[in-house]
Amino acid sequence: MEHTHTAAGHENAHSDSATKSIWRTFWILLCITMVEVGLAFLHLETGFPSRVFLNAIFVGLTVLKAFYIVAEFMHLGQEIKNLILTILIPLLLFVWFIVAFLYEGDSWKNMRKDLKPGTPQEAPKAPSKEEGHGHY
Amino acid sequence: MDTAVTAKKKWWAGGYSPFNVSYGKLMMWYFLMSDAFTFGALLIAYGTIRFSSTSWPDPNSVFRSFPGMGETNMPLVFVSLMTFILIMSSVTMVLAVHAGHMRDRKAVAKWLTWTIVGGIAFLSCQAWEWTHLFHEGAWWGRNPFPNTDGTVASTNFTNFFFTITGFHGLHVTSGVILNIVILANVLKGTYEHRGHYEMVEKVGLYWHFVDLVWVFVFTCFYLL
């Protein structure tokens, strides 16, 4: 990292730009949160962005916020690549976790719906005239 | 931070950390990664149960109160304030870390103090919210809020809400305690004597992680 420079002039210039980028990240995070809350209110008032679309936006914006916190506030962006990768690659497991478990939950719900007593009406079988004559 | 990075440097030849960070900081990163899996497991369990339910309570009609506003319907306002407080305390924390790089002891103490104030403010908000929900009849094993389709909801909603926000609140609490310990050391001059403020960076990482988890909790419980 750059703060190994010890010349006083460098120090000040670096200090200013670092503080600036901290506040820039703050404003980005605040704006994203305000957009999220704004969209939620828009949906409450008008029902405009449909629920599925809205949820997709929320998840996308959440990941964006997470990126800014980890990269800027936690300075992971300034670490060397090997460290970044040892942290991020294991987290890829989450992709599988989320897909697998939510799929499981959804299929559970469908089974619940289908197997509820009385829910799947026995498909009324039209008695066929041709078959069933003394075959059994 | 230890040495200048040159293109020809042999990272794995020994003599220095191949990750260019101290042992403590590296282990803090790995701890946070494991903690991310803990929170991830809780949130995914919540998601699975929610996906498997035919209907679920509407967060906007559950979390609609603001302290001192009585029965006014204000969805999202209070939790937005809580989010703002936590983001703000993350900013003061990163400013403290930055002041530590500059070896400016007074500034470190100032920003750490503000971070602690922010953490306590967040915990107070959460305490109010929990108390309010408790008085509405919600607790582990009790859920007074109906599903969106009008049917009686199971207690899954409140169980997950109190467990996950509670686990997060516990992290905030331990973060505040760690920050207080570090602030005491800063004031004592421990790090000035040691020659660096890396401990501030380590608790800073933990504190930002707590903020990071809140970002996901906020989305999963209040927005979706």
pLDDT of residue A15: 73
Contact check, Cβ <8 Å, B208/A41: no
pLDDT tens per residue, range A88-113: 999 999 999 999 999 999 999 999 88
> Which residues on A lie below 8 Å from B3 (Cβ)?
4
Dist CA A108 CA A113 (whole Å) = 9
Contact check, Cβ <8 Å, B216/A62: yes
pLDDT of residue B12: 83
Which sequence spans correspond to the domains of chain A? 1-78, 80-116
> Which residues on B lie below 8 Å from A82 (Cβ)?
11, 18-19
Dist CA A40 CA A43 (whole Å) = 5
Dist CA B90 CA A87 (whole Å) = 21
Contact check, Cβ <8 Å, B5/A104: no
A45 has a pLDDT exceeding 50:
yes
In chain B, the residue whose alpha carbon lies closest to the alpha carbon of A11 is B102
| Nearest CB neighbour to A102, from listed B51, B80, B84 | B51
Q: Which token pair is B151?
A: 């049917």
Mutate to test the interface with A, among B26, B54, B82, B94 (most CBs of A within 10 A): B94
Dist CA A129 CA B203 (whole Å) = 80
B14: left (phi over 0), alpha (psi -120 to 50) or beta: left
Comparing A12-21, A51-60, B101-110, B137-146, the range with the smallest average pLDDT is A12-21
Dist CA B107 CA B127 (whole Å) = 30
pLDDT of residue A125: 58
Q: Domains of chain B by range and CATH?
A: 23-223 (1.20.120.80)
Residues listed for chain B? 224
β partners of residue B139: B142
Q: What angle do CA A59, A62, A67 make, to 5 degrees?
A: 130
pLDDT of residue A71: 93
How many other C-beta atoms are found inside a 10 Å radius of the C-beta of residue B72?
10
Q: Mind spelling out the 3-state secondary structure of B137-204?
A: CCECCECCCCCCCCCCCCCHHHHHHHHHHHHHHHHHHHHHHHHHHHHHHHHHCHHHHHCCCHHHHHHH
Dist CA A104 CA B50 (whole Å) = 11
Mutate to test the interface with A, among B34, B156, B219 (most CBs of A within 10 A): B219
pLDDT of residue A120: 56
- B164 CB-near residues (< 8 Å, 6+ apart): B39, B42, B43, B46, B217, B220, B221
Which residue, chain included where needed, has tokens 């930055």? B98
Predicted confidence pLDDT, tens digits, chain B (224 residues) = 555 555 567 778 888 888 889 999 999 999 999 999 999 999 999 999 999 999 999 998 899 889 888 778 888 899 999 999 999 999 999 999 999 999 999 999 999 999 999 999 999 999 999 999 999 999 999 999 999 998 999 999 999 999 999 999 999 999 999 999 999 999 999 999 999 999 999 999 999 999 999 999 999 999 98
Dist CA A78 CA A62 (whole Å) = 22
Q: How close does chain A come to B107, measured CA to CA in Å?
A: 13
Which amino acid is it at A29?
L
β partners of residue B142: B139
- How distant, in Å, are the alpha carbons of A26, A99, A125, B98, B215 from that of B85? 12, 32, 64, 20, 12
